[in-house]
Amino acid sequence: MTDKELPATVAKKLLNNDINTTCPYCGVGCGITVSRSSSQSAYPVVINGDKHHRANFGKLCIKGKNLAETLDNNNRLKAPQIYNKVQKWSRALDFVASKINKSIEQHGKESVGFYVSGQLLTEDYYVANKLMKGFIGSGNIDTNSRLCMSSAVSAHKRAFGEDIVPMSYSDITKADLIVLVGSNLAWCHPVLYQQIREEKSRRPALTLVVIDPRETASTELADLHLPIKAGQDITLFNGLLNYLHQHGYINTALLTSVDKSGLAQALINAAQDSQLLAATGIPKHAIEQFYQLFANNSKVVTLFSQGINQSKQGTDQVNGIINCHLVTNKIGQLGSGIFSITGQPNAMGGREVGALANTLASHIEFTDTHLHAALATFWQTNNLAKSEGYKAVDLFDAVESGKIKVLWIMATNPLVSMPGHEKIKQALKKCPLVIVSDCVASNDTLNYADVILPAQTWGEKSGTVTNSERRISRQRSFLSPFGQAKPDWWIISEVAKRMGFCSQFSYESVDKIFAEHARLSGLNNKGNRAFDISAFGAITAQQYQRLQPVQWPQPEGRAIRISDQSFFADGHYYHKNNQAKVIAIKSDVQESNPDIFTLNTGRNRDQWHTQTRTGKSALLSQRHPEPEVEINQADAERLKISNGQLVNLEAGDNQIKTQFLLRARITNTQRQKELFIAIHWSASNFNQGCVSKFVKATTDAISGQPAFKHSKVTLKPWQTNSEAMLVVKNLINENLATYQVAQKITGGYCYYLASEETPLAFFERLNRFVKTHPQQLYIQQQNMVLNASDPVKKYFRKSYFVQGEMQATILVASHKDDLPQGWISQIFTFTNSNEGKLNVLSADSKRLQSKRTFCHCLNIDFNDIEQAIASGTVTVDSIRAKTNAGNGCGSCIGDIMLKLKQCGV
Ligand code: SF4
């Protein structure tokens, strides 16, 4: 079936009114206004930024803007399945409930595990946590947010006494100095980055320091870029702490809100680490400049993200940053503090309900015996978990070792996202019962599911999410549910009822869960827990429907505050003595083998996680059609690797070797001996699989967060004899070549292939495949074939038409450079006339090279940018003025700087 045959259906309530909801992607949590589209539109709805939402004030990035393109019902789960057989909901729910009960009976409560997700809504999270900790009686629930921000959580708890992100987005633009560390904000949280851009153009004195091993789109605005060597952040921030101490910037008499018991040791460690600053790889004068800027500005905001968290010393790294803010009182003041920017739309919601294995519930710790008893009463249970469960990596280890016998995975794809890929695969294979509730019909993990439960997707489900600044916003449904898809909270509650917990899970609607969650936050809370939204404990369905975005806390008895609110201005922290703590930390970086590369991972601007949503958009798939590894120019020259060539990455010992072929992108924005790969590809669209194959399951000892940023690999060129593109209308399942990637294009798919065969042999094989493949049967009745091959040049191109419509095109050459680039994504649509199509398809190969969109909002081509640079336009602003690029959502402004770099300007 094609996309058009499976349209999303707009819910009745959208007929007359616009609906305000929240973007399902990153932790910025932008507000969105959804309107019904006109009947001529290709998409069911029109998406705009919500002008009144304080996270984005109407702005959206390219991912948010193009959400309408991702709403088709292709690859959706229609009905529950047990062992690949479609079942009624009642049968599937009975089956799951009885299997969980049986496992508890035979093997104990620790034999059951839940692995949940930052894609769940808070209400889903709440009932999942309640079922596991309150009624199964185990702590074995952990979330994929463990992979992105659990080190920040641990560090907040150590320093502040509770997991509190103290700031609001409005604080960022009030700062005089912004330090961006371990975050490519311009690509990963674009709307926040644009707010910094606007403020900087209003107030040029605002200084931006970017600390990142790579030059990224975020360094474009930077006044100072510190190209730190991977893993050296503690050294840098301990060096800063020592500088502040040595230069008299720490006045202990003023630190009335800080418990100074750890300060002396912290300063000793800092003095020792400051001797190692050369190991950061940052020029001495740049370090000095950064330290002076930090010391001499009172309003400093340090923003950090995965580059800090995803390390085996992630918790210490965060505390290293917090220490510097605490000892200089650069926290709790307007425009001052530290800010953990979360990756997922509702990572914060999971933290609020306590769906991390080491928290009990609602910011209540396992160690708090009084609250433990109160919670048991509140939930009406006598089986409340008494100890922490397995954190994500340990959870899958426990599955692999046979301790966990029933694993329920909700709204996440761990086979792609977890480290230790092979072990995860073995765990899923071995586990006696794997239950997956998800909205998609296929992903890498679903191949191992025994029970599949269809969940509603964004646009269909209702609830709340909390963004990075603690702002709780409604997600409201505007699409009719597809097939038999149900809300996650409903699925979990129905299983719980069938397990015997009827009264405790008899929720009639999602607002009732939110109200209970709010009441729990106020349980025995006399201001001693920061997370308190008890003001909503009696919220009605109508009030919930109209709920405006608000930040926590919102305690009962106080009027609801819509305006921004930040923590610690009153010097009150949440340790027992009400003070914050300085934590003594120490750098622990081992020198690595010089022949081995350090592999860093991260995101591309236009894709989200494993592409299950953004991969449906032809527009979003244009910028990075294939996975690439970024390599420094000097390393590439030494290894004789050319730009665009396929390279082989290898890791592991002689027994277990992991290999990976992917495209080289040679750049001078990458450090030598370090590589970078985006995380978005998986076995579903790339026959080499996912990059997490290289990530060992090494975790931070405190947070349990895996160290995604520092894998060790070797690199060498891979010789191919032919490169190909195969354009088809439908996805294909066959593995056609050593290297194979699928890209969504308008009206179909483009496969990028590479083979050791000669171009002729490869072309003939692909031609046979197209003609004989069952899905392409209609081609056998084709009424036209256009063959534009030139065997002398080893260039082959053949297009098949049925009734004037192109059905498939095969392009094979000996070099990648002879194949089209971005143009291919419009092959089905580049012209309305068949004659036009024929002309272009029969033109010579070079003509097919052109046309690659740079700025999607305003449809500006790469060629326009390159021509502007060639004609002497050499600044970001002048290129914007000349070409208009970057003047829409602004997402590509940083890319103009990268393009200038690439052109050696
Ligand atoms: Fe969505 Fe994040 Fe983009 Fe906002 S910045 S539109 S939340 S992806």
Whole-number Å distance, alpha carbon 188 to ligand 1 midpoint, is 8
Whole-number Å distance, alpha carbon 607 to ligand 1 midpoint, is 11
- At how many degrees (to 10) do helices 510-521 and 369-379 cross? 150
Q: 472 to each of 134, 614, 790, how far by Cα in Å?
A: 25, 24, 61
Whole-number Å distance, alpha carbon 330 to ligand 1 midpoint, is 28
Q: Which atom of ligand 1 is nearest to the CA of 345?
A: 7
DSSP output for 608-625: -TTSTTGGG-TTTTSS-S
CB 292 within 8 A of CB 329: no
Q: 674 to each of 186, 227, 632, 645, 793, how far by Cα in Å?
A: 21, 12, 8, 18, 37
**Which residues have a Cβ under 8 Å from the Cβ of 700 and sit 6 or more positions away?**
150, 151, 154, 311, 312, 313, 314, 315, 706, 707
Distance (Å, whole) CA 139 – CA 126: 14
Distance (Å, whole) CA 119 – CA 144: 9
Q: What is the average pLDDT score of the chain?
A: 90
Pocket probe mutation, ligand 1, options 21, 191, 346, max atoms within 8 Å of Cβ: 191
Coil vs helix vs strand at 22: strand
Coil vs helix vs strand at 85: strand
Which residue has the CA at smallest separation from atom 4 of ligand 1? 30
Coil vs helix vs strand at 405: coil
State both tokens at 193: 């980055």
Direct distance between the N- and C-terminal alpha carbons of the chain, in angstroms, rounded to an integer: 48
CB 27 within 8 A of CB 119: no
Sheet containing 207-211: order of strands: 224-226, 207-211, 177-181, 300-304, 337-340
Q: Which atom of ligand 1 is nearest to the CA of 22?
A: 7
Distance, C-alpha 407 to centroid of its chain: 23
pLDDT tier for residue 2 given thresholds of 50, 70 and 90: very low
pLDDT for res 877: 85
Whole-number Å distance, alpha carbon 62 to ligand 1 midpoint, is 8
Whole-number Å distance, alpha carbon 156 to ligand 1 midpoint, is 25
pTM for this model (two decimals): 0.91
Pocket probe mutation, ligand 1, options 30, 188, 305, max atoms within 8 Å of Cβ: 30
Answer whether residue 251 shows pLDDT above 70.
Answer: yes
Q: Which burial class, exposed, middle or buried, applies to 412 when counting CB atoms under 10 A from its CB (0-12, 13-18, 19+)?
A: buried
pLDDT tier for residue 850 given thresholds of 50, 70 and 90: low
Phi and psi torsions of 664, nearest 5°: -85, 135
CA nearest neighbour of 183 among 156, 226, 216, 231: 216
Q: Which atom of ligand 1 is nearest to the CA of 56?
A: 4
pLDDT digits (tens, 9 = 90+) for 358-379: 999 999 999 999 999 999 999 9
Among 190-199, 379-388, 435-444, 611-620, where is mean pLDDT lowest?
611-620
Distance (Å, whole) CA 520 – CA 537: 8
**Which residues have a Cβ under 8 Å from the Cβ of 824 and sit 6 or more positions away?**
725, 727, 745, 750, 848
pLDDT tier for residue 890 given thresholds of 50, 70 and 90: confident
Helical segments of 31-149, H only = 62-65, 89-107, 122-129
CA nearest neighbour of 857 among 836, 880, 885: 885
Identify each DSSP E strand in 198-244 by its residue range: 207-211, 224-226
Which residue has the CA at smallest separation from atom 2 of ligand 1? 26
State both tokens at 219: 């360094």
pLDDT digits (tens, 9 = 90+) for 499-548: 999 999 999 999 999 999 999 999 999 999 999 999 999 999 999 999 99
Distance (Å, whole) CA 319 – CA 642: 41
Which residue has the CA at smallest separation from atom 3 of ligand 1? 61
pLDDT digits (tens, 9 = 90+) for 622-641: 888 899 999 999 999 999 99
CA nearest neighbour of 182 among 118, 237, 230: 230
pLDDT for res 817: 86
Distance (Å, whole) CA 768 – CA 757: 15
pLDDT for res 785: 83
pLDDT for res 851: 61
